[in-house]
Structure 1
Amino acid sequence: MDGQERAPHTGRRVVLFPLPFQGHLSPMLQLGALLRARGLAVAVLHTDFNAPDPGRSYPELDFVPIHETLPEEATSPDADIVAQLLALNAACEAPFREALASLLPDVACAVVDGQFYAALGAAAKADERLEEPVPELEPLRARDLIRVDGCDADALCGFITRVADAMRASASGVVVNTFDAIEVSELAKIQTELSQPAFAVGPLHKLSPAAATAAEHNFLHAPDRSCLAWLDAHPPRSVLYVSLGSVACVDRGVFDEMARGLAGSGVPFLWVIRPGSVRGAAEDVPPLPAGLDMSRGKVVPWAPQTDVLAHPAIGGFWTHCGWNSTLESVYEGVPMLAQPCFADQTVNARYVTHQWGVGLELGEVFDRERVAEAVRKLMVGQEGAVMRARASDLKIQANQSAAATPAIDNLVKYICSL
């Protein structure tokens, strides 16, 4: 059953409240489509900031704006992400409560975005201890814990603590876009920590394919589908796909080294350079360094990522390791080149490289020679071949999870029992 089919209405309503960023909106709306297809009414409470456009893509869901008031500095494209999260949290509390109250008494439960639930207070480790393992959080080191470079560490820890405390005090369960084969021990830890059930309902983009397709057209960027025809002209597993997601950005120097390393690697590549990719750039889409041979590459402002990763020509994914991108790559059996930028991406990158063994770290010393070497190692080297085999094994397990629906069915039963 996908997001286009509906079961009879059960009379139970679920309220979803996602953070207003594409990487959070997409899976939450995919979950909403799955719940609606199983007979639950779904209302999506959303901010005016980065508000989704529901009319074209999600007619089966009810969208309710909460009309928050954010300070101007929080809505700036250059806003510090932690300050932005704190401002959103403060501004949305009262209007969310009022919007939720307006929907009572028909609400069975609310599913509220709940990232930052682990590694409390550990992001401020001293530099000399960054390589030390974190007890009970293997394979993570101190440097892999959630962080946002340049932000106030105390503010970040305070935000994480508030989220975790609210979940312990108020949550009746946790919905996670994952599957048991890759995070069974982590799911058990969440259940133990909260003394509440955790529902591994992923991979959502495959369980709700219609909603996933709609999500690619519904938010901040329109995908350039011409890249699929370009991929058709390439042999299997020969092209490196490069995308740092919908929010992450890099300095101009890093961008130039990425470009020169890709051009010098000799590997064909499809590169997403979206508006805002380069921090502080005068142009929306920054120009490439002069004099590069780009004949092996194609650059687009945005790509239909799930279709790209499923394309047989794709042999690797240079990614920021946002969770949606990580899960989509795992599902398609594509090994990864990890360049985490902030927040949970460092955690995800460590799992990609050291827990599942399906990727390489680019590292913090970033120059064109190391970039070219890493690209060749992933795409044509023996180490990359081993990772590709492991990725293929994970793909089988991910597909098996997508073929079965016990987690989402159990979630629906649990919601109806509340």
Structure 2
Amino acid sequence: MDDAGKTTLKQNKRRRLVLFPVPLQGHINPMIQLAQILQVRGFDVSIIHTKYNSPNLSRYPQFIVHIIPDGLSETEVSTSDLTLFLKRLNTNCAGPFYDCLADLLSRDTDNPPIAIITDSIWDFTQAAANSFNLPRIVLRATSVCSFLVFAALPLLQEKGYLDNLDSKREELVVELPPLKVKDIPVFESSENTYQLIQQIVEETKKASGIIFNTFQELEEPELFKLQETYRVPTFSIGPFHKSFPARSSSLFTQDRSSISWLDAQAPKSVLYVSFGSLATMDQRQMNEVAWGLADSMQPFLWVVRPGLVRGSEWLEMLPNEFLAATRDRGYIVKWAPQQEVLSHPAIGGFWTHGGWNSILESIGEGVAMICSPMFGDQMVNSRYVSDVWRVGMKLEKGLERGEIESGIKKLMMGREAD
């Protein structure tokens, strides 16, 4: 082949990107969806993934997947301390990621990676990108509004908002309207968590670009503020799920009997209830949720993930009286095909924990929400759902059966509880 032919062949080659998701359901989904979007747009995609929650490779024949060791013990994997888990992941995966990236660059000399796209939680990846002279683009798996709050945590701490939180929960945060003090993300291991968040924010600012799974019409003021403050190229190319569903990247077996059950229900009659893949609650909270559902008298499809109640196997924590009272109008599964559920004609509302993927999926299907945030960005997302975007309501008292009953009746029937 002459030089002209070689040049033409080189120009026709698809450019390669390396993507690196955090191995948690709410982070894997958007990264895999982004990979599919980029692949359709003409890129070759390699995915580096931890051994923990490693994907079923048969689901992704279009990608080259490299599994790296994460060094996590069974005890470390099962910890309920998310901050400690993420810190260990960052510590353990820095070396294997560097080695894997070096190997990719040395082996694939004809089509080497031109950039890496990593979840923002991987705080070591900017240093790795710099060492190989590669651009690093960050995928934020949260909303822009919540990122701005995370970035403002040092300021909020300095101004005393995080001191004596219980005494001023209903006060407005002047610097971040429409948030109230109770909407500020707080964490059990607060000092370590705030340090980790600050590290993540600082490393995100150094990136060559930030991709958000959002869209301009939803978060335009927040996107403007972000670009004005940090001057990092920002790309709002969501919602990803409208391009590709998350079904292939689910870590849980989806119970499709939920769709068959919905097929037998009246249009817009069913409340879908799911608190995501990580949230947990205690026995008292579970009882409040159950009896709030029962007292509302509304049909419901409820995802009760094993372990939703700490230490539980599945439904043994639910009162027998509740199960008997709701047998004819409630359906409980371990996991559901959420996007398909939300698009079903029988769904009239969604009671959610306020995770970002869930909110986007609900907005995308025009389903109004009740939000019961549990931790992290969910607090901010839920306030925006109720007060800014006005696509649902937030349960202000937490998990309390009277407010639950009233909220469900208002959402589903447009009236307060009797």
TM over 0.5: yes
Q: How far is 1:87 from its partner?
A: 1.3
For residues 65 and 135 of structure 1, do their structure 2 counterparts lie closer, same or farther at Cα, with a shift above 3 Å needed? farther
In the alignment, which of 294, 301, 319 is matched to residue 263 of structure 1? 294
Matched residues in 1 for 2:232 and 2:170: separation? 33
Report the secondary structure of 2:265's partner residue.
Answer: coil
8 Å CA contact 2:372, 2:399 repeated in 1: no
In the alignment, which of 193, 211, 219 is matched to residue 156 of structure 1? 193
**1:379-390 aligned within 5 A:** 379-382=412-415
**1:86-235 aligned within 5 A:** 86-104=87-105, 106-114=112-120, 115=140, 118-121=151-154, 122=156, 125-126=162-163, 127=165, 128-148=167-187, 151-169=188-206, 171-209=207-245, 212-215=246-249, 219-235=250-266
Matched residues in 2 for 1:368 and 1:266: separation? 13
Residue 39 of structure 1 is matched in structure 2 by 42
Q: How far is 1:119 from its partner?
A: 3.0
8 Å CA contact 2:309, 2:317 repeated in 1: no
Gaps of 5+ in 1: 1-7, 385-418
Residue 366 of structure 1 is matched in structure 2 by 399
Residue identity matched to 1:374? G
Residue 288 of structure 1 is matched in structure 2 by 318
- Does residue 238 (structure 1) correspond to residue 269 (structure 2)? The answer is yes
For residues 135 and 100 of structure 1, do their structure 2 counterparts lie closer, same or farther at Cα, with a shift above 3 Å needed? farther
Q: How far is 1:142 from its partner?
A: 2.8
Q: How far is 1:367 from its partner?
A: 2.9
Give RMSD over aligned pairs. Answer: 2.1
Gaps of 5+ in 2: 1-10, 121-139, 141-146
Matched residues in 1 for 2:379 and 2:198: separation? 19
Superposed CA deviations along residues 60-89 of structure 1, whole A, max 9, x for unmatched, are 11111121213554211x431111111112
Matched residues in 2 for 1:327 and 1:383: separation? 26
8 Å CA contact 2:283, 2:317 repeated in 1: no
Q: How far is 1:290 from its partner?
A: 1.5
Give the greater-gyration-radius structure (CA).
2
For residues 107 and 379 of structure 1, do their structure 2 counterparts lie closer, same or farther at Cα, with a shift above 3 Å needed? same
For residues 74 and 382 of structure 1, do their structure 2 counterparts lie closer, same or farther at Cα, with a shift above 3 Å needed? same
Superposed CA deviations along residues 10-49 of structure 1, whole A, max 9, x for unmatched, are 4311111111101100110010011011110111111111
In the alignment, which of 57, 68, 71 is matched to residue 70 of structure 2? 68
Q: How far is 1:259 from its partner?
A: 1.0
8 Å CA contact 2:273, 2:350 repeated in 1: yes
For residues 198 and 136 of structure 1, do their structure 2 counterparts lie closer, same or farther at Cα, with a shift above 3 Å needed? farther
Q: How far is 1:136 from its partner?
A: 4.3
- Does residue 356 (structure 1) correspond to residue 389 (structure 2)? The answer is yes
Residue 8 of structure 2 is matched in structure 1 by none
Residue identity matched to 1:69? G
Residue identity matched to 1:180? Q
Report the secondary structure of 1:118's partner residue.
Answer: helix
Residue 401 of structure 1 is matched in structure 2 by none
Give the total of aligned pairs. Answer: 366
Matched residues in 1 for 2:306 and 2:12: separation? 42
Q: Identify which range, 239-248 or 114-123, moves more after superposition.
A: 114-123
Matched residues in 2 for 1:241 and 1:9: separation? 47
Residue identity matched to 1:230? W
For residues 147 and 53 of structure 1, do their structure 2 counterparts lie closer, same or farther at Cα, with a shift above 3 Å needed? farther
Q: How far is 1:208 from its partner?
A: 2.0
Q: How far is 1:261 from its partner?
A: 1.4
Matched residues in 2 for 1:226 and 1:199: separation? 38
For residues 383 and 32 of structure 1, do their structure 2 counterparts lie closer, same or farther at Cα, with a shift above 3 Å needed? farther
Matched residues in 1 for 2:194 and 2:372: separation? 23
Residue 387 of structure 1 is matched in structure 2 by none
Q: How far is 1:174 from its partner?
A: 0.3
Q: How far is 1:284 from its partner?
A: 4.1
Q: How far is 1:354 from its partner?
A: 0.8
For residues 194 and 257 of structure 1, do their structure 2 counterparts lie closer, same or farther at Cα, with a shift above 3 Å needed? same
Residue identity matched to 1:271? W
8 Å CA contact 1:271, 1:299 repeated in 2: yes
Residue identity matched to 2:248? A
Matched residues in 2 for 1:278 and 1:362: separation? 20
Q: How far is 1:323 from its partner?
A: 0.4
In the alignment, which of 41, 51, 71 is matched to residue 54 of structure 2? 51
8 Å CA contact 1:257, 1:366 repeated in 2: yes
8 Å CA contact 1:179, 1:203 repeated in 2: yes
For residues 42 and 351 of structure 1, do their structure 2 counterparts lie closer, same or farther at Cα, with a shift above 3 Å needed? same
Matched residues in 2 for 1:269 and 1:9: separation? 53
8 Å CA contact 1:268, 1:296 repeated in 2: yes
Q: How far is 1:183 from its partner?
A: 0.6
Q: How far is 1:147 from its partner?
A: 2.7
Report the secondary structure of 1:318's partner residue.
Answer: strand
**1:336-415 aligned within 5 A:** 336-382=369-415
Matched residues in 1 for 2:254 and 2:184: separation? 32
Matched residues in 1 for 2:63 and 2:411: separation? 41
Q: Identify which range, 10-19 or 126-135, moves more after superposition.
A: 126-135
Superposed CA deviations along residues 157-176 of structure 1, whole A, max 9, x for unmatched, are 1001111111223x000010
Residue identity matched to 1:62? I
Residue 83 of structure 1 is matched in structure 2 by 84
8 Å CA contact 2:292, 2:401 repeated in 1: yes
